[in-house]
Structure 1
Amino acid sequence: MVRSQEIARRYAEALYEVAVDADALEAVQGDLAEITQGLGENEEVQRFLSHPLVPRDAKSALLTAAFPDLTEWVGRFVDVLIRHQRERYIDLIWEQFVALRNAREGRLPVRIDSARPLSEQDRQRVQAKLEGAWNRPVVLHEQIDPTLLGGVRIEVNGRVVDGSIRLRLDQLQQQLQE
């Protein structure tokens, strides 16, 4: 796993530098996210891409057909990954790319779990409070978790603030059992 992370980090750094030079960070990150999400949703395509007997041309053709609107840089990058048999690392490369960008831009990734999607007003309020508390820009990653029942659970730098109804119910149940 450490070797996989190191491989992904190197490719992510190279792509990051290309994206900076081309002034295309947003587009490149968006393309990587699209590929990662698209591949993550289809196990057949994952097996096809990771199979050693599938010719590289067939892999390139599949990805070109599946993602026709990729930027020039990401299209070339995917070709390099296929040529060097590194396409199985695309999800790790995306994670490393995002982490590298956040670090270089001084942004703090924050995970917010909620029972239902946050309204734009709630999202802005949470973001403003977190930016004030951490004194730096934050990047919100929202996840829907219906088991929370209501409220939110926020994770920042390994710290968790749980304001969910599920936690309150669990605590109440524990108190009643005592």
Structure 2
Amino acid sequence: MSQSTAANRYAKALFQLAQEHNLLKEVTEDLREVKIAFEETNELFQLLDSPKIETDKKKEMLSELFTSVQPIIVNALKLLVDKKRIHEVVSVIDAFVAQANDAQGVADAVVFSTRTLAEEEKQRISTAFAQKVGKNALHITNEIDASLLGGIRVQIGNQIYDNSVATKLAGLKRELIG
């Protein structure tokens, strides 16, 4: 995803602030939740970007909506509203998470499976695949894909590790048919 220069600057400033306050892990986790809120609620963007609603009212809404997240995140969101850049919030979060991941030796991974993985399974996958990509750990998002039939497919950045039954059957079919 292409990110604007402004989004990168806001992310860098927020990253530095989180590091100064020793809240990098907490802010990263909270930002992941904030991103989900923005991605799943398009009306939130419309409200916060509307010229009909006063800036103070928008800030008040942000304070009420995000009471459980770190205060520096709420302040950053308010700043984006002030600067009329709230439409870039997802890009800011993505840039922040990328910086935080690099600093912590973590990578984001999507694990496709036929069922929801237990925390122990996620931890084993994280340990095994983190070494393959030169990271300390993986932040795993589990997605259900019944077409796999069994096994898992792991996507880390642009790398895909496919150990699914469907892929193995397709390979066997190619071998048998020629």
Give the TM-score of the pair, scaled to structure 2. 0.84
In 2, the alpha carbon distance for the partners of 1:5 and 1:157 equals 20
Deviation at 1:169, TM superposition (A): 4.2
Count of equivalent residues: 177
Question: Which structure 1 residue ranges, 5 or more long, are not aligned?
Answer: none
User: Residues 102 and 84 from structure 1, CA distance in 2 versus in 1: closer, same or farther, beyond 3 angstroms?
Assistant: same
**Aligned counterpart, 1:41:** 40
Out of 140-149 and 152-161, give the one that drifted further: 140-149
> Runs of 5+ in structure 2 lacking a partner?
none
1:177 Cα offset (Å) = 6.7
Identity across the alignment (%): 25
Give the Å deviation of 1:172: 5.2
The equivalent residue for 2:49 is 50
Letter in 2 for 1:155: Q
1:22 paired to 2:27: no
Using the TM superposition, give the Cα deviation of residue 125 of structure 1 relative to its aligned residue in structure 2, in angstroms: 2.1
What are the Cα deviations for residues 83-123 of structure 1, in whole angstroms up to 9, with x where unaligned? 00111111111111110011123333333222222223322
Q: Is the 8 A contact 2:122 2:140 kept in 1?
A: no
RMSD over equivalenced CA pairs, Å: 2.3
C-alpha spacing 1:169/1:46, structure 2 compared with 1 (3 Å): farther
Give 3-state SS (helix, strand or coil) of 1:98's partner: helix
SS in 2 for 1:9: helix
For 2:5, the equivalent position in structure 1 comes to 6
CA contact (8 A) 1:110 1:138 kept: no
1:34 is displaced (CA, Å) by 2.2
Distance 1:120 1:154 in 2: 16
1:128 counterpart letter in structure 2: T
Q: Which whole-Å CA distance do the structure 2 matches of 1:153 and 1:84 have between them?
A: 41
